[in-house]
Structure formats: structure tokens, C-alpha cells
Amino acid sequence: MKRRLVILTEIIAPYRIPVFNALAARDDVEPHVIFLSETDPSLRKWQVYREEIRFSYQVLKSFRRRIGKFNTLITHGVGAALQASHPAGILSGGYSYLAMWQAQRWSRRHGVPFLLWSESNAMDTRKKFWWIETAKRKFIRACQGYVVPGSSAAEYLRGLGAPEKAVYVAPNTVDIGLYARAAEAARQDPSRRERLNLPPRYLLYVGRFVRAKGVFDLLTAYAKLPQETRRSVGLVLAGDGEEMAELARRSRQINPGRVVFPGFLHRDELPALYAFAEALVFPTHSDTWGFVVNEAMACGLPVIVTQVAGCVADLVQNGVNGYVVAAQRPETLSEAVAKLLGMPELQKQMSQHSLQAISSWTPQAWAEGVSRALVGCIGESRG
């Protein structure tokens, strides 16, 4: 018998569609996804791949405004949408928006189990206000179950009072088959490197151009590499953001060296960049996960990641499929890059280890974790 699970989440993110499709393909769960908004153009330019959606969904009417550093999203019709959906359980993708609090209140009134889907971890360095932390604990303790992407998020929730038996892991993932196939297709067509204006060898960064992502640390680390290394290995920074002009200015001061800015690339354009890169570098100062690490590993890349990224504990083994370095330490980052580039055989081994490590992080694994969480919470609520 299928149990109807309503999933409340912010936007139609391209990397979420495969996992929701995998959940809809199961014979024990019937998902209905309520998106609070279609997209967030102020932060992301993601394409919305509606033609790939294979699950029931709706997009609420919403109003978005950024007030300082806060992203305010006001939605209309949450209660009516839940009422019409007749859920056996509700899975809320966080607690940042009013709609999620409204959904929790609705679940209490109607006796429907309420689960929190949270990626937060203790390494998050974003400024925390006491009143936000107090409200967060209240929200968390009112949930009947918890879905987390990995071990760091599970540990964080347990520290905030979530019972260990109510925490279920549904691994954060992308469509690894799509990335692997597209990267291999790109490698079969070497002319694509020239068409994309890529250096013969290069390190790759994919993400927003903001200081919190550590992209300036990466530029500094690249400048610290030996001159002979910079003559043969470039740096490709794929993305956009408020620091684009300053990054371009500083990159012109690096000589020898070549820094390429291909711009913001959509999902289908990224595998070719991964395919020809020496390694992905993810130098973030704070990140709940880091899906670009999943993408890069699916394409067979070694990864160099700061220890604050939420994905590190589950995906990156230091010295095995890449290196884990301290955040905001360009010297350490440069040393790791130089070490990787200086050992071609180890680099090949790390590439294989990345492919092996990511092979089980599939959309189906995420769907299995969510199914277990729903069954566990329904059982407890009836017990």
C-alpha cells in the first residue's frame, strides 16, 4: 500500500528532481511535492527541467524579498494545499520559512506525523542569533522524525535534542549516472576542450563567486604554486556572483598562469568541465553539503575540500580520493594542490576511488532512506 508523503521544499532545484522521481517510482510511497517558489533568481540561475518531473507537485504563490542578509519568502495557501493532499506524513525541507512552521502547526492539529529534512551541521559558521537558535530547537523537538543527508547532519540534530532512533539517513545525491555518461561522452570528443576555451590542464571550481565560498582563497593558493606548475596548469572558475569583477582583476595579476571564467553553466553543460579537469577544488568557508563534490566524483575526479563542508565526513577520504584541508588557509590549500599535481599515479588512483565511493550514492538510496523514515514515524505515531 502506498503512503502519501507531502514534501515541502523551497524551489525546483535540478538536483532534487531525480531523487523525487526515484521516490515516486517506489511501490510504498506516493510523494506530492509542494514547492514554495519556482526558483530564486537573486541567488541562482538554475534551469527548471519540468519535462523531467515524474512526480506529483504544485508551486505555491509566493512573494520573495531580501532584507539585508535574510531571504524572506512569503507564501499563500500552505494549509489548503496540505488539506487537499491528504498526507500520511509531511517532510519539511528545513525550518527557515514561515510556511514550514505553518505546516508543522497544521500537522499537529490533524494528527499527521511531521518529519524534518535537514542538512545543517555543527561546522556552519554563519552568524547565529540567540532567538533563531531558540526557535530552531523548538521546531526540531516538535518533529516526530528526521531525515539527514549524512553523518555530520545526524550528529548535529542529535546534539539539538533529536532522539537517535528517529534520525534516518537519506544520502544527498545527484543523478550520478547522468554526470558519468556525459563526462565520458565529452572525453570521447577532445575538440570540446578547445570549443570551451579550456586550458590543456586545469583545476576546477564550480559555484558562486562570494567570499564565503572560499574562491579568493583558491585564487591565492593558485598564485602560490610554483611558476613551472602555473605555466602548465590553469584554473577554471565556473559560476558568477557579486565578486566576479574583483576575481577577474586579481586573476590578471597572476603571471605566469591562466585563469578562465566560462560563466554560469547549467547542469547539462557542467560534465564537460569535470571531464577534462585535474581535480575539483571546493574551498568553502561554510557549506551544509556541497553537491558539486558529488558531481565531480561521479565524473571521476579527485576532490580537494575544506573540512567544514557537510559532505566531507561521508564522501572524502583524505589521501584516498582527494585531500581534506583547513578552511581559510590558502597556504595549506596550495600545498594540497601541488601534492596532487605532482603525483600522476596517485591522481589516477584517487580518480578510481572517487568513482567507487560515489557509486552507491544514488537517487534510489535517497528514496529508500525517506521511505524508512516515513514507515518508522507512522509506526511510532500509531503506537
Q: Within this chain, do residues 212 and 166 fall inside the same structural domain, yes or no?
A: no
Q: Within this chain, do residues 152 and 180 fall inside the same structural domain, yes or no?
A: no
Residue 381 lies in a domain: no
Q: Within this chain, do residues 268 and 340 fall inside the same structural domain, yes or no?
A: yes
Pull the grid cell for residue 283: 574551498
- The domain total for the chain is 2
Residue 235 lies in a domain: yes
Residue 71 lies in a domain: yes
Residue 382 lies in a domain: no
Q: Say yes or no to pLDDT of 65 above 80.
A: no
Q: Within this chain, do residues 158 and 203 fall inside the same structural domain, yes or no?
A: no
Q: Within this chain, do residues 352 and 289 fall inside the same structural domain, yes or no?
A: yes
Q: Within this chain, do residues 181 and 326 fall inside the same structural domain, yes or no?
A: yes
Cα angle 192-197-203, degrees, rounded to a multiple of 5: 95
Q: Give the tens place of pLDDT for each residue, 32-54.
A: 999 999 988 766 778 899 999 99
Q: Give the tens place of pLDDT for each residue, 249-263.
A: 999 999 999 999 999
Average per-residue pLDDT in the chain?
93
Q: Within this chain, do residues 7 and 23 fall inside the same structural domain, yes or no?
A: yes
How far apart, in Å, are the Cα atoms of 151 and each of 18, 225, 359?
Answer: 22, 34, 18
Residue 236 lies in a domain: yes
pLDDT for 383 equals 41
Residue 306 lies in a domain: yes
- 87 Cβ contact partners less than 8 Å away, ≥ 6 residues apart: 4, 5, 6, 32, 112
pLDDT for 382 equals 46
* CATH for 278: 3.40.50.2000
Q: Within this chain, do residues 85 and 191 fall inside the same structural domain, yes or no?
A: no
pLDDT for 381 equals 52
Q: Give the tens place of pLDDT for each residue, 102-121.
A: 999 999 999 999 999 999 98
Burial 265-294 (b: 16+ CB within 10 A, else e): bebeebbbbbbbbbbbbbbbbbbbbbbbbb
pLDDT for 378 equals 85
Residue 339 lies in a domain: yes
Q: Within this chain, do residues 351 and 366 fall inside the same structural domain, yes or no?
A: no
Residue 383 lies in a domain: no
Q: Within this chain, do residues 226 and 316 fall inside the same structural domain, yes or no?
A: yes
Find, among 195, 191, 140, the residue nearest to 163 by Cα.
140
- Say how many residues make up the chain: 383
Domain range enclosing 332: 176-358
Q: Within this chain, do residues 232 and 136 fall inside the same structural domain, yes or no?
A: no
- 75 Cβ contact partners less than 8 Å away, ≥ 6 residues apart: 36, 37, 60, 61, 62, 63, 97, 98, 99
Q: Say yes or no to pLDDT of 18 above 70.
A: yes
| Angstrom distance (rounded) from CA 116 to CA 241 | 30
Q: Within this chain, do residues 257 and 332 fall inside the same structural domain, yes or no?
A: yes
